[in-house]
Amino acid sequence: MGIADSRRRYGFVWFDGLNRFFVAGERQETLAQFFRTPPNTFDDFIRATDTEYASRIIAAENEALAAAARAAAAAERTLADEQRAHAAEQMAAAAEHRALAAEQMAAAAEHRAVAAEQVAAAAEHRAVAAAAALKAVHAAGPGASPPHCGPSAHSAPLLAERLLSRLTCTAFAAAPRIRYLESPCSDTSRPQSR
pLDDT in tens, the chain (194 residues): 445 555 568 999 888 889 998 999 999 888 888 888 877 778 777 788 888 888 899 999 999 999 999 999 999 999 999 999 999 999 999 999 999 999 999 999 999 999 999 999 999 999 898 888 888 878 876 655 555 544 444 555 676 677 777 766 666 565 555 444 455 555 544 444 44
25 and 96 inside one domain? no
**35 is a domain residue:** yes
Position 79 scores a pLDDT of: 95
**118 is a domain residue:** yes
**54 is a domain residue:** no
The answer to whether residues 169 and 183 touch, using CB atoms and an 8 Å cutoff, is yes
Q: Number of structural domains, the chain? A: 2
**50 is a domain residue:** no
Residue range(s) defining the domain that contains residue 139: 62-189
Position 144 scores a pLDDT of: 55
89 and 127 inside one domain? yes
If we measure between CA atoms, which residue out of 172, 182, 183, 144 comes closest to residue 160? Answer: 144
Position 38 scores a pLDDT of: 74
The answer to whether residues 116 and 171 touch, using CB atoms and an 8 Å cutoff, is no
Position 180 scores a pLDDT of: 46
Contacts of 13 (CB under 8 A, 6+ apart): 21, 22, 23, 31, 32, 35
For 11, 23, 35, 58, 103, the CA distances from 6, given in Å and listed in that order, are 9, 11, 20, 43, 110
